[in-house]
């Protein structure tokens, strides 16, 4: 089944089986393996990507549902050299260890701070409750997000 949408600003056209999830389409059809698949049923948040500005679980969305949408993955939130302020804050606060949940954390946080650059700790914790991390214990992640807010306040864009 043909599907057309944009990924990280670039238009793509893929031919997928109707049952293909957006996560599998990104990873295996488009070879964007930064998006990780953990639980495959919407619990762990590792596969979170941004679809039309909202953080969604790409394992719970079919690729065909992305028709006409704008999809942003961790690759689209990254620069060729160096780190964005959000990524740099994660590195500084040791908000990652094995890195498996990290892309989902970054997309979720990016969607949050793009809309609410003044999100308080309670709000951040509530949003990140949907993303599991088995390494960090979450506290460094919260610290990184609190620090990254400044970058979103200035120009509302990272």
Q: Which stretch, 19-27, 57-65, 115-123, 146-154, contacts another protein (CB under 8 A)?
A: 19-27
Give yes or no for residue 71 binding another protein (CB under 8 A): no
Please give the helix or strand (H or E) that residue 14 lies within, else none. Answer: strand 10-15
Nearest to 131 by CA among 21, 48, 23: 48
CA distance 97 to 86: 16
Residue 156 carries which DSSP code? S
Q: How many other CB atoms are there within 10 angstroms of residue 104's CB atom?
A: 28
Give yes or no for residue 92 binding another protein (CB under 8 A): yes
CA distance 11 to 154: 29
Give yes or no for residue 36 binding another protein (CB under 8 A): yes
Q: Which is nearer to another protein, 91 or 126 (CB)?
A: 91
Please give the helix or strand (H or E) that residue 30 lies within, else none. Answer: none
CA distance 132 to 76: 22
Give yes or no for residue 134 binding another protein (CB under 8 A): no
The minimum distance between CB 34 and another protein, in angstroms, equals 2
Binding-site member from 90, 108, 131, 152 for another protein (CB under 8 A):
90
CA distance 106 to 109: 5
Binding-site member from 60, 65, 85, 94 for another protein (CB under 8 A):
94
Give yes or no for residue 33 binding another protein (CB under 8 A): yes
Number of residues that bind another protein (CB under 8 A): 31
Give the footprint of another protein on this chain (CB under 8 A): 17, 19-20, 24, 27-28, 31-37, 73-75, 78-79, 83, 87, 90-92, 94, 96, 98-100, 102-103, 106
């Amino acid at each position: 089944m043909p599907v057309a949408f944009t990924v990280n600003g670039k238009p793509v056209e893929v031919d997928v089986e109707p049952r293909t999830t957006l996560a599998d389409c990104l990873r295996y059809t488009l070879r964007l393996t930064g998006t990780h698949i953990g639980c495959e049923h919407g619990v762990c948040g590792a596969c979170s990507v941004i679809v039309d500005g909202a953080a969604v679980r790409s394992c719970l969305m079919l690729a065909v549902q992305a028709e006409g949408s704008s999809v942003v993955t961790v690759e689209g939130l990254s620069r060729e050299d160096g780190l964005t302020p959000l990524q740099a804050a994660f590195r500084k606060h040791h908000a990652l260890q094995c890195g498996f949940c990290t892309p989902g954390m970054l997309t979720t946080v990016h969607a949050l701070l793009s809309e609410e650059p003044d999100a308080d700790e309670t709000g951040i914790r509530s949003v990140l409750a949907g993303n599991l991390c088995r390494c960090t214990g979450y506290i460094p992640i919260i610290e990184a997000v609190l620090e990254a807010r400044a970058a979103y306040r200035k120009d509302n864009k990272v």
